[in-house]
Chains A and B, each alone.
Chain A
Amino acid sequence: MKTFLLRRLLAAIPLIIVVTFITKAMLVASPGNFLDALRLNPSITRDYVTQLERKYHLDSNNVFERYWYWFWPALQGDFGYSFTKSAPVSSLIGERVLNTLLLTGSALVFSWVFAIPLGVLAAVYRNRWADKLIGFISFFGLSIPSVFFSLLMILFAAKTGLFPAGGIHDQAMWEVMTPWQKLIDTLWHLVLPMIVLGTIGLAQYVRQMRSEMIETLSQDYIRTARAKGLSRWRVLTRHALGNAINPLVTIFGFSLATLLAGALLTESVFGWPGLGVLTFDALVDKDEPLVMASVVMLVLMLVIGNLIADILLAIIDPRIRLD
């Protein structure tokens, strides 16, 4: 187990290097830099801009040189200073990562909690109306664009007043809230973005769960269990479910990339201050240190998520051993 963890984390290092290098190369190759706005300002001299350019190592077009200027301090834990937000990158990014984790984590829980019973239900009542209804719901979830779904949810929230229309917490009251109220307030703000982000995964898991369950229910050992006189419920939960859920855990690992990309759009529409919007804004502003740090965080989240998926798989399926 220990060697497995170590090996997987070591394998992540080249991935991070490759991805950050590609990102840096793109940033170097893209036209302009964050000083463009200063250049257009007539009250700032050209010399000053050139000076700044040298200071931020933006004067070289050599990708390797530019990458090294980022890589060497980053290796020592120094991700630099944001160009546009005049604060150390590490202080900007920490809270954003937590917010994104909160959103994606709860979306995952949401999709699993609903997908498993719905998938089982659809398989048990195969080709009956319940199955057809669930099939339609999953097609709906698979097809609805998250941008449109988010906007619909905000419209719903604003019209009914049941939920806040965007944001992560109540701006006006936040300062005077007790910790308990803060928690409730944040969770209340979380509900709608969680549903939007979770629906994509939900649809996918339901379809998979249904087909796996149908496959499992046709196995001989299920018939044996029924023949022994076990109740349907017991056969379903103790014999079939564990086997059917296996491939779902595998999919979970793969769907993390999807989830993180989906989070960008959901965060953007709901005004959720997560890593996604931060990365997007940094990209548009050409705030290189911020982009690089965000990319590292995204890859780390992916790697760790995949690791968790593998460990879960090993726990559920005794045939798989991690070594």
Chain B
Amino acid sequence: MPDLIEHDEQPAVSSREEAAASELARNAVAASVAPPDRMALAAEVVSSRAGGRSPSQILRLKLRRNRTAMVGLYTLAAMYAAAILAGFIAPYRYDNVRHDLPFYPPMLTRIHIFDEQGHLSRPFVYGLVPVDPQLASYRDDTSKKYPIRFFVSGDSYRILWLVRSNTHLFGVDEPGHVFLFGSNQLGGDIFSRILYGAQISLSIGIIGILISTILGMIVGGVAGYFGGVTDFALMRSVEVLLALPSLYFILILRQLFGAAMSSTQIYFIIVVILSFIGWATEARVIRGMVMSLKEQEYVIAARAMGFSNSRIIIRHILPNTLSFVIVTATLSVPFFILGEVALSFLGVGIQEPEASWGNMLIAARSNRQLIDFPWVLTPGVFIFVAVMAWNFLGDGLRDAADPRTLS
């Protein structure tokens, strides 16, 4: 993978690395089309343990037994679900700001369940009073209590462009305000913005990996299948792409498009640029696998039957690389997430008022704000957790897809 994140497969310039890549390919090939004796061995081991299951069932079994991988999977499921339901879970819209309440400290620890007399009551927060707006210092106004209500109406939102609603999971009555994770320099709710930001930061990983995997499969498939000059030319360009520090390349590509663009345009440009860099790893791996797969009997049979090259590549060869493609893709998702974070943080990515995890961290660039209001760092925790979860899952998938670990 080019920079930003690192994995075991690294850009190659030597024959040593080529050997490693082809070994990876061989293992993966062994997984999909094992020679008879190996297959028999595998079947024996598997049937004694799992009772004759299909390869994908074995994969799922092995994955389910891997605790860290499952932790990663569930974490990701929760995060992506929260991103889809962002409008409902977030009490405010990403661009709903309270200019009179910048840098309000997190209220997560200020939700009271006892009132002044010490009686138990339903959870409530106090009203907010700015003491000195210049210093962003506040105190609770104990004369005003705002109970936390569920399914309240507020800003309107859409879920997946389809469902329009204005019911929120929780909230307090106006003019009270609830900042679970505090507020930012404009008085926007960081909790809500993290949820809306997740839509951008997390989806970039998925869309980017789809594009780059398709590109990588096409280039790798063509290079591996045809060989010769095609292979040479394609692989040299892959090597140049992998040998360069990708972030600089991304930034130079970013310059191609001016700064004046809508947020949707910027989003797509980021995805396209990152995929344009990201496909190289996939292409190299797939090429290695295709090169060994094309010598298999069934491919020769398909060729003898007169099928076209594109049909053989797409229908016969590429499906057999799938398990390995999935592993590589999963391990590559962090590259896209971190790429968006880097671009937005440097100011050439997603722009305000849109929220992304990268541009939310800009607030922490000023040392004064970082020190006085450390809660502006909260989005960083989410980036970290998301990347870690993808790494956990990818590692688990790799172990599960490895035919050498049969047990």
Q: Which residues of A contact B (CB under 8 A)?
A: 15, 18-19, 23, 26-27, 29-32, 139-140, 142-145, 147-148, 151-152, 154-155, 158-159, 165-166, 200-201, 203-204, 207-208, 250-251, 253-255, 257-258, 260-262, 264-265, 268-269, 279-280, 283-284, 286, 291, 295, 298-299, 302, 306
Q: How far is the CA of A140 from the CA of B3 in the complex (A)?
A: 17
Q: How far is the CA of A302 from the CA of B245 in the complex (A)?
A: 9
Which partner residue on chain B sits nearest A144 by CB separation?
Answer: B384
Mind listing 19 A-B residue pairs with CB under 8 Å? A18-B240, A19-B240, A30-B258, A32-B258, A139-B391, A139-B392, A144-B384, A147-B341, A147-B342, A151-B361, A154-B367, A200-B6, A250-B16, A254-B11, A265-B247, A279-B251, A280-B251, A295-B248, A298-B248
Q: Nearest chain B CB to A54's CB is how many angstroms away?
A: 23
Assess the A145–B248 pair: CB atoms within 8 A: no
- Chain B interface mostly: helix
Q: Among the listed stretches B114-122, B263-271, B313-321, B369-377, which one makes contact with chain A, having 4 or more residues with CB under 8 Å of it?
A: B369-377
Q: Which residues of A have CB within 8 Å of B341? A: 145, 147
User: B21 at the A/B interface (Cβ < 8 Å)?
Assistant: no
Query: Given the known A-B contacts A148-B383, A254-B11, A265-B342, are A23 and B256 also in contact in the complex, defined by CB atoms under 8 Å?
Result: no
Which partner residue on chain A sits nearest B3 by CB separation?
Answer: A261
Which partner residue on chain B sits nearest A265 by CB separation?
Answer: B342
Q: How far is the CA of A307 from the CA of B325 in the complex (A)?
A: 32
Most buried by B among A140, A148, A262, A283: A148
Q: Which residues of A have CB within 8 Å of B240? A: 15, 18-19
Assess the B384–A151 pair: CB atoms within 8 A: no
- Chain A interface mostly: helix
Interface size on B, residues (CB 8 A): 53
Q: How far is the CA of A253 from the CA of B243 in the complex (A)?
A: 10
Assess the B377–A155 pair: CB atoms within 8 A: yes
Q: Which residues of A have CB within 8 Å of B10? A: 251, 254-255
Q: Which residues of A have CB within 8 Å of B174? A: none
Query: Given the known A-B contacts A152-B377, A261-B3, are A165 and B367 also in contact in the complex, defined by CB atoms under 8 Å?
Result: yes
Q: Which residues of A have CB within 8 Å of B84? A: none
Q: Which residues of A have CB within 8 Å of B13? A: 253-254, 306
Assess the B17–A250 pair: CB atoms within 8 A: yes
Most buried by B among A151, A286, A295: A151
User: B346 at the A/B interface (Cβ < 8 Å)?
Assistant: yes
